[in-house]
Amino acid sequence: MITITKKEEIVFNQIKIFNLEYDEGIPENIIKMELGIYEHELKEILTELDSKNLITYDNKRVKLADFEKEITAVNSRKEVVMAELDEKEQNSLQLIRDLVDETKTVPKYILEGNLLYGDLKLTDFRMYHIILSLENKNIIKPINKADGEYYKLIE
């Protein structure tokens, strides 16, 4: 399943409509004029749709990609990230929310200890995989303070 925002869905649906008319790819400016959105916003959306392999976006031309996946639309980028988290990641994220202090930071050793030996009882490999996944999704980031290594909750 692929999760996209409502704006991405609107652009994607327009691409599906125009796809039959343009064999060489739909010119970007045609989509922009039809939907009445700003060029920079359209480029961001097209780049995101391209990264999810729903379209091919190259040289200001857009082509619909061949795909067989179910698409779900949500209201915001934050909801897209949350939809992409698996159950263990969601449980880990809730644990992080519970552990962070008022500055939204948690010491690395406390977080890792709670993931390994707390209710989740993750393996070393799974714990590092989840932490890396949350970092890649810009939910947490590692930081260094004078007294040690920490994770900062960004969301």
List pLDDT tens digits, range 74-113: 788 777 767 766 778 888 999 999 999 999 999 999 999 9
Q: Of 77, 95, 115, which marks where a domain is finished?
A: 77
Q: Is the pTM of this model over 0.75?
A: no
List pLDDT tens digits, range 17-56: 888 888 788 999 999 999 999 999 999 999 989 988 899 9
Q: Specify whether 38 is located in the same domain as 89.
A: no
List pLDDT tens digits, range 54-76: 999 988 899 988 777 778 787 88
Structural domains of the chain, count: 2
Q: Specify whether 70 is located in the same domain as 52.
A: yes
Buried b (16+ CB within 10 A) or exposed e, 4-40: bbebbbebbebbeebeeeeeebbebeebbeeeeeeee
130: containing domain: 85-153
Confidence at residue 83, expressed as pLDDT on a 0 to 100 scale: 72
Confidence at residue 77, expressed as pLDDT on a 0 to 100 scale: 77
Q: Specify whether 64 is located in the same domain as 98.
A: no
Q: Specify whether 58 is located in the same domain as 29.
A: yes
Residues 132 and 112 sit within 8 Å (Cβ to Cβ): no
Q: Of 77, 111, 144, which marks where a domain is finished?
A: 77
Q: What is the CATH number of the domain that holds 129?
A: 1.10.10.10
Q: Of 54, 77, 100, which marks where a domain is finished?
A: 77
In angstroms, the CA 129 to CA 16 distance is 36
Q: Specify whether 72 is located in the same domain as 89.
A: no
Confidence at residue 147, expressed as pLDDT on a 0 to 100 scale: 92
